Each structure stands twice: as structure tokens, then as C-alpha cells.
Amino acid sequence: MDLPTRTKVFAFALMCLGFFMATLDIQIVASSLKEIGGGLSASQDELSWVQTSYLIAEILVIPMSGWLSRVFSTRWLFTASALGFTITSMLCGMAWDINSMIVFRALQGALGAAMIPTVFTTAFVLFPGHQRVIASTTIGALATLAPTIGPVIGGWITAQWSWHWLFYLNLAPGLAVALLVPRFVHFDKADLPLLKKGDYTGIILMSLFLGCLEYVLEEGPRKNWFGDSAILACTWVSAIACFLFLVHALTAKEPIVDLRALTMRNFGIGSALSFITGIGIFCTVFLTPLFLGRVRGFDSTQIGAALLSVGVAQLVGLAVYSSLARFVDLRWLLLFGLACFGLGCWLYVPLTHDWGWQQLVLPQVLRGFGQQFSIAPIVTMALGSLPPSRLRSASGLFNLMRNLGGAIGIALVSTMLNDRLNLHYLRLNEHVTAGRPLVEAWLNGQATHFSRVGGDLLDGAQASLGALHALAMREALVLTFSDTFAAVAVCFVVAFALALFSKPLNVGAKPPPDAH
């Protein structure tokens, strides 16, 4: 590009701000759902859609962003996306019931989604050679930092002001991005005639496939999966649409998503690693606050404070990675990052009911540090291996893999939380039986305590049985969380093995020619 370096950097920084907001808002409500539910009189099942509606809409739009940027240009697509995201953020803050909140969150996710893959494409279009390392490192840092600190920022804002400010927070930066991007981002032109040649068949099939899949993944754990008729119907629709979409995408002349790019080794491996790191990032951000809330009874502020060590480790990791990336092979940094990330998840396995921020520091530091060494090389591996003509379409697919990994990962660990909880509770019940000396001694001690408080020995005995049930349930829940973290850690063993098969990452090389 013939733009001055200062203009390139400022334009990229503006787009990174929009990207950060869109990514942050996936998880910013995570630690404040209880307060949102109280304000909107919503049930727990309804509240889950505050996050899910945003994620579904985002997953649907991200793969289309490459085609949309060719039609409207990066400049105007990003501007419209930032403006739409800002307006819908304001509407979310003004929501009057749970239904309006879900609708506005879906619109917020759909309108803001284009800002995510567009930044990845821009980094590889604007910057040459080693400057791409800095750009991809910045994007990688923001992509991992935003979901991690989302619950931290959200909990603090809700405690200091109210949950409405989770959304009003976007207004000032969103308007700034929408006003400044048209002036500084102008490195491509719109091609409106492409609207007539759009792959609308592919868009419809992809929307049916991904939309129904995300519904199944979200509602399946709560509705006994295929025992529910709606889940079963959506599964069939998703499976059929998936098959037709794959056939169409591999045979169409200009499909909405460039699946053929997956045949390029580094892009295919990079996309798979993006999927696995998506599982790691989103599942750990989902599981840790849930453990602290359900087992420890922490409020949103305490949960945010307990997660703070991850963000600090990420910032330190960013500084160290930026220094090492100049002279160390990125594949070695990637392997180190995946190993740290996986080890951090494995160190959650010895979990006990009294774990707080002190016990979480080491696993969270390793996880946060590892994230910074994982994401940036994956971005360089995947997108740096593509010719410029394929960047836009492939960037949407690459980003889709990360979010899809998060969605599928959360659905699977949610199912594990249900199934393994029942298993562990039944196993504990086999050992906690009447007649065993330790159990009888504990029950008698509790009964005596409760009878002193309540004044009735019979009521005290009943209360002691209730306390024993609560104790068994708590320990079963702790064992269940331990299992889920172990499952996430195993995913990184697969990721480490995949990374060994990647080609060398020559960051100073020119992009490959526009050959298909």
C-alpha cells in the first residue's frame, strides 16, 4: 500500500478498537447475568440467550464479511458495522424486558460481526513482512484479552453503576470509530455490481446450517438433547443444510466461503488450531466464573477480581512474545504457547471446594501467558499462507472456526456438567450411607447442632440429612468441574500434535501469488 505508515497505523488502531468492542461484548455480560435477570424479570433459561443470541448472529455474519467488504469496500462496511453496533448497544441498555434484550443482542452481534474478520484481512493487506508480526500480535492479544477481561470489566461496571452501563460503555468509542474510519481507511473500493452475482444459495444454506447448529448446541444440554422434538428437528435441518452447503461451496465458481483454502496445509492447520484455541478460551472463561459462583458463592465483583490474574499474565505474555518473535521461529513460540495453555488447563484438575483467587493464580497465569504465544502465530500461519485474492473470504472462515470452537466447546462442557454431576453424586452416595461410623458421627454432630439452634431433635436430624445432601452435591460439582477442565486440557494435546505438521512460518516472505 502507498499510504503513509502513520496513516496505516492509525487506521489499523481504529479498526482494532472496533474489533475489541465486538469481541469484548460476547463475554462482558457473563458475570452480570444474575443482575440482568433481576432487572428484566427473566428466568435462568431465558438469560442464557443474552449471550447465545449475540453469538449465533455473529457466527452467521462473520463468514459473509469477505464478500460484503468486496461489495461495499472495507471502509464503508466497517463504518456501517461500527455505527450499527453502537446503536444496538444503546438499545440493549434501554431494553424493557428479556425478549427485547434478546432481539437487540442478536442485532448487536449481527451488525458488529463484520468488524472482526475485517481487521485480520486489513493487517495482511496494509503491512508487509515483519510489520505483520506486530499487527498479528496485536490482533492476537486483543482476541484473547477481550473474552478474558469481559467478565472482569462487566462485574466491576455492574457493581459500580448498573448492568445498563455494560452496553452504554460502547457509545463513545463506537461513535468515534464510525466517524473516523471513513476518513482514514481507504485502501479498496466498492464493487456494487457484485450484489447481482452474490452466492445467495450458499448464504441461505450456511445460515440454516450454522443457526440450527448453534441452537442445538445451546439448548441441547438443557432439553435432554434428542429427547426434545425441536432439538431433533433442528439437528436434521442443520445436518442436511451442512451437506448441501459443503457440496455447493466446493462446486460453485465463487462461493460465499472459500473452503478450498483448507487444502493449503498451513491455513488448514491454522484453522483447526483456531477451533481448538476457541474451545480453550471460551470454555475456561465460561467454567471459571461458573465454578466461583456455584461452588464458592462469589458475586460479580469477586469473580472479576479472581479472573484478574489472567489479564495480567496476557499483558506480560504480549510484551515477551513481541520481543521473542523478532528472532525466534514462530513455530517454537506456538508450541510453547500451546503447551502453557494446556498445562494451565490441566492444573485446574486438582480443584477443591475452597479454591479462590490464590489457588487460581498459577493455572490462570499459565493459561493467560500461553494464549499470547498461541494466537498470534496461528494468525500468521493461517492468513500469511494465502494470496491476497483469497484473504477476505478465508479470513471469515478462520474467524468462524474460533467462535464455532467456543460454541461447540461450551455446549459439550455444559453437557458434561449435567451428566458427570449425576455420575459423581451417585458414586458419592454409595459411600455416604447410614451405618458407617464416620457418617453416623457426622450426622449426630450436625443433628445436635441444629437441635440446639432449632430446639427440636427431630428437626435437627432432618436438617443434618439436608446438610449431608448439600455436602455431597457440592463435592460432586467440584469433581465435575475438574473433569471438564481435564477434557479441555486434552484438546491441547491434539493441538500440539497438529502444530508439529505445519510448514515453517517465514514472516519476512512475500505472500504467495494469486493462484488457485
Buried residues in 337-368 as b, exposed as e (16+ CB within 10 A): bbbbbbbbbbbbeebeeebebebbbebbbbbb
- Residue 488 pLDDT: 92
Is pLDDT of 508 > 60? no
What is residue 504's DSSP assignment? P
Amino acid at 182: P
218 and 414 in contact (C-beta within 8 Å)?
A: no
Contacts of residue 441, Cβ cutoff 8 Å, sequence gap at least 6: none
- CA–CA separation, 106 and 88 (whole Å): 9
How high does pLDDT run on average in the chain?
Answer: 80
Q: Look at the block and give the residue holding cell 467456543.
A: 406
Q: What is the pLDDT of residues 209-258, one digit of tens each?
A: 888 888 887 777 777 778 888 889 999 999 999 999 999 888 888 787 87
- CA–CA separation, 263 and 394 (whole Å): 12
Average pLDDT over residues 66-89: 87
Q: Residues 33, 106, 112, 60: is their CA dihedral positive or negative?
A: positive
Let me know the angle formed at the C-alpha of 377 by 373 and 382, rounded to the nearest 5 degrees. Answer: 150
Q: What is the C-alpha end-to-end distance of the chain, expressed in Å?
A: 23
Average pLDDT over residues 267-283: 89
Q: What is the pLDDT of residues 383-433, one digit of tens each?
A: 777 777 777 777 778 878 888 888 788 878 878 887 888 887 787 777 666
- CA–CA separation, 40 and 27 (whole Å): 19
130 and 326 in contact (C-beta within 8 Å)?
A: yes
Provide the grid cell at 214.
448453534
155 and 293 in contact (C-beta within 8 Å)?
A: no
61 and 211 in contact (C-beta within 8 Å)?
A: no
Is pLDDT of 469 > 70? no
Q: What is the pLDDT of residues 18-35, one digit of tens each?
A: 888 888 887 777 767 777
pTM for this model (two decimals)? 0.80
- CA–CA separation, 72 and 350 (whole Å): 52
Average pLDDT over residues 172-176: 90
- CA–CA separation, 475 and 341 (whole Å): 26
- CA–CA separation, 136 and 402 (whole Å): 15
Between the alpha carbon of residue 5 and those of residues 129, 131, 447, the distances in Å are 14, 11, 75
Nearest alpha-carbon partner for 111 in 155, 57, 165: 57
Average pLDDT over residues 340-345: 92
Buried residues in 9-44 as b, exposed as e (16+ CB within 10 A): bbbbebbbbbbbbbbbbbbbbbbbbebbbebbebee
Average pLDDT over residues 88-97: 89
62-66, 244-248, 267-271: segment of lowest average pLDDT: 62-66
- Residue 495 pLDDT: 92
Q: How many CB atoms lie within 10 A of CB 91?
A: 17
Is pLDDT of 457 > 60? no
345 and 485 in contact (C-beta within 8 Å)?
A: yes
Q: What is the pLDDT of residues 347-366, one digit of tens each?
A: 988 888 888 778 888 998 99
pLDDT band at 515 (very low <50, low <70, confident <90, very high): very low
